[in-house]
Structure 1
């Protein structure tokens, strides 16, 4: 029988304090770099998602699926740049592509041949993309897709979902971000068909678009059911609204993204991250009738500017990425590898009766603490994060794992062995955690 929550919290807090102190002691140079950075950046930070208490690690190099930090420690990289680093580190293929483009002249001040080739590759890949436009991030792609939908429908309401993340200006976690773009949002519970139907019944004629991740990434790797996504397809089609799939992360689930795997085709799709070959990249595309609104030859054309939308370095890197790495064979193999890892993690947690769960799909997953008390769940996750980093395995402090193509059986077996050792040594702490519903 579980002990009282206060006792559990005390035992867990003590274990966390001990491993956190070891983290501080091991990473003095990372702390010194944060202090230096804090003199020129707020909190020493320029990317909020990278922050973790008591301070983040500073990495100085990476090769394949290995990282080295400023204090000389080596790690197996299981985070893969929050899904963007699907190639591993220091790819010779991508280096050669960027170098060749650089030697051929950068910022050419007009259209270029690289953008044509990359557009051909991407429109052939995604079932929903008749035409596309490039931009510089997934955030930009989602902002432009929403703007296009509002203009095309002459409507204002934008349907999004709790815990959804579509970039720094479109985030819907526990509290909606104060920096969000000022759209008229309708925020619904995720994977709730009844809630979606009720909203469309009441306001369907006012809804411009539905913006949805087929799997919520930053929201904890929650996978949308096929029934939910199919209902959104039907509801938007019936009401004249635009369905936008944010596949910035889930595009890695197969050559044609999760939409092709599910057989559900949206009106617009947004992608980003790895399709830039390691450089800043975004793209939105969809039905010809929608995308043609951006044709500059039209007298009523929607303007979409951006100095680096078609920059030759990113375009060249994207071509190399798509042709060499992001093939159907390699993406399917990565999907299967991730499914196997998640299954083995689930079995390990169950076998050790450990207070953890794991959610996700394919090569993206999220470990969660599983305690009755929310604070204890967060402590459990931090405990695992510190303990696995101490053993040389790096994933996000929020529990996110995103496998790269460079992660092989040796690294996965090593990670599972390290996790098993952590669970075994923490058994006494876990036995005191209240897991009652």
Structure 2
């Protein structure tokens, strides 16, 4: 970190602190009950996060009375914006009939049918409460279906598949280590679900081939990947790379799993797979599909999903008190039917369709404090986004006033780059 960057960052931080004393007090009070005042790590930043008090449309308001254009979009779960009238009406109507049934109801089949209509690879689907759970269940299904209960799972450096599936850049050798810790990523062996992972390089078919060649034949149960790295930098998989994985999964007798938790909203709302000739065996979903309620799902080939058919002897149990909760099922279905139509999905996709080509594009040696500086400067300008620079657009921003705010955001970013050029070079 250069001294000059630290000076500029210190000025931005001082401005932030002076403008947000009530958020600071709220954070300090929260630390009495929550470790670090937090129960979701990604929402913490230094010196302390904002305390949000309300949200409407694309606008967030904090405890100090500031308004922000929401460009975080709840990490893509906030696709509908805040307080959409169709969803609010559905919530109000649903709660009048009770919040917890403890039994099947028609909305779960309705939502399942809508999902099947958007994802041709999904012949049967089951619901969970998060994308993390969906990936846990998909891997369980893959191991059970292949009979490789101790089988290996091919994943990719830079991927994130949920709270117990994190594979940051630099973690590749962790699962090869059997004795002493060798890197700061050793903690992942405790944090991540206890699968035997093979960590390959994204968009590098040769790295996959080398890994699977290094293990005994018949030992790979699944290949799990995001068709676009999410927290890994918005890197899209090359079509030929996905075709290679499809072919290798078939040759290995393994299942190919697409994690489309973040990417299911793309194109016409059928995920990246909808634009490819490659079909996964299983797909995992989450985020916005619950209409803002807790949601996750996994689905795919009928023969694989039949493992969970409770009518069959020896079926795999799949529990979860809130898997089919009436709010998520009804609000999710209303959102897909009446708000996030394929036409709206395409319009939103076209507004933000731009990705980088390789994870290596994010591995330059610039000072990481520059992203922190960018984040604070954007907050000071009234734009709320992730600390790492992640932006996710919502349907609310498609309206004329929302588009004007996006134009303003572009101008603010250009201004930041201009005045920070001496820090970047």
Structure 1 residues 370 and 230: CA distance shift in structure 2, 3 A: closer
Q: Against the structure 1 CA distance between its residues 189 and 297, is the aligned structure 2 distance closer, same or farther, given a 3 Å change threshold?
A: same
- Which residue pairs with 2:413 in the alignment? 419
1:271 aligns with 2:285: yes
Partner Cα separation in structure 1 for residue 29 and residue 203 of structure 2: 44
| C-alpha separation in 2, matches of 1:384 and 1:45 | 23
Is the contact made by 2:5 and 2:370 (CA closer than 8 Å) also made in structure 1? Answer: yes
Cα shift at 1:359: 3.7
**Aligned pair in 2 of structure 1 residues 61, 146: CA closer, same or farther (>3 Å)?**
same
Correspondence for 1:336: 350
Number of the residue aligned with 1:231 = 244
SS in 1 for 2:310: coil
1:384 equivalent to 2:374? Answer yes
Q: Return closer, same or farther for 1:36/1:131 CA change in 2, 3 Å cut-off.
A: same
Of residues 388, 392, 395 in structure 2, which corresponds to 1:402? 392
1:43 and 1:372 map into 2 onto residues whose CA distance is: 29
Moved over 4 A (4+): 368-371
Tell me how far 1:372 sits from its aligned partner. Answer: 3.1
Deviation at residue 425 of structure 1 after TM alignment:
2.7
1:284 matches 2:298:
yes
8 Å CA contact 2:78, 2:292 repeated in 1: yes
Following superposition, the deviation at residue 150 of structure 1 comes to 0.5
Shift of 1:371: 5.6
How much does 1:201 deviate? Answer: 3.2
SS of aligned partner of 2:163: coil
Deviation at 1:370, TM superposition (A): 8.0
Mapped partners of 2:356, 2:104: distance in 1: 43
Once residues 142 and 364 of structure 2 are traced to their aligned partners in structure 1, the CA distance between those partners, rounded to angstroms, is: 42
Q: Are 2:123 and 2:302, in contact at CA under 8 Å, matched by a contact in 1?
A: yes
Alignment of 1:50-89 (within 5 A): 50-89=43-82
Secondary structure of the residue that 1:132 maps to in structure 2? strand
Select the residue among 163, 166, 174 that pairs with 1:171. Answer: 166
1:262 CA displacement: 2.1
Distance 1:290 1:336, change over 3 A: same
Provide, for residues 222-241 of structure 1, a one-character-per-residue CA deviation record: whole Å limited to 9, x for no partner: 22111111111110012110
Query: Secondary structure of the residue that 1:296 maps to in structure 2?
Result: coil
Identify which range, 135-144 or 317-326, moves more after superposition: 317-326
Alignment of 1:205-284 (within 5 A): 205-254=218-267, 255-284=269-298
SS in 2 for 1:333: helix
Q: Does 1:193 align with 2:211?
A: no
Matched, 1:118 2:111: yes
Partner SS, residue 32 of structure 1: helix
- Distance in 1, matches of 2:340 and 2:258, equals 19
The Cα shift of 1:397 comes to 0.5
Q: Distance in 1 between matches of 2:388 and 2:357?
A: 14
- Unpaired stretches in structure 1, ≥5 consecutive residues: 1-5, 343-357
CA shift for structure 1 position 106: 2.2
Asked if 2 retains the 8 angstrom alpha-carbon contact of 1:137 and 1:280, the reply is yes
**In the TM superposition, what is the alpha-carbon distance from 1:369 to its structure 2 partner?**
8.0
Q: Secondary structure at the match of 2:312?
A: coil
Could you tell me how far apart the structure 2 residues matched to 1:39 and 1:360 are?
Answer: 44
For 2:68, what is the secondary structure of its paired residue? Answer: strand
- Cα deviation, residue 212, structure 1: 0.3
1:47 and 2:40 are equivalent in the alignment: yes
Alpha-carbon deviations, 1:287-310, whole Å to 9, x = none? 001000110111110110111100
SS at the partner of 1:271? strand
Cα distance per residue 1:292-339 (max 9 Å; x no partner): 011011111011011110011110011011112222111111111002
Structure 2 distance, partners of 1:422, 1:93, is 38
* Shift in CA distance, 226/369, structure 1 to aligned 2, threshold 3 Å: closer
- Once residues 329 and 37 of structure 1 are traced to their aligned partners in structure 2, the CA distance between those partners, rounded to angstroms, is 43
Equivalent residue number for residue 355 of structure 1? none
Q: Is the 8 A contact 1:135 1:308 kept in 2?
A: yes
SS of equivalent residue, structure 2 residue 242: helix
Gaps of 5+ in 2: 171-184
Q: Secondary structure at the match of 1:402?
A: coil
In structure 2, relative to structure 1, the CA distance for the partners of 1:294 and 1:83 (3 Å cut) is same
Counterpart of 1:354? Answer: none
- Contact kept in structure 2, 1:82 and 1:402, CA below 8 Å: yes
> How does the TM-score come out when normalised to structure 2?
0.90
Residues 1:181 and 2:193 are matched in the alignment: yes
Q: Give the whole-Å Cα distance in 2 for the aligned partners of 1:53 and 1:262.
A: 41
SS of 1:253 mapped into structure 2: coil
Aligned residues: 399
* Cα deviation, residue 207, structure 1: 0.4
> Could you tell me how far 1:421 is from its partner in structure 2?
2.2
Provide the C-alpha distance between the structure 2 equivalents of 1:371 and 1:259, rounded to a whole number of angstroms.
30
**What aligned pairs does 1:97-136 form with structure 2 within 5 A after superposition?**
97-136=90-129
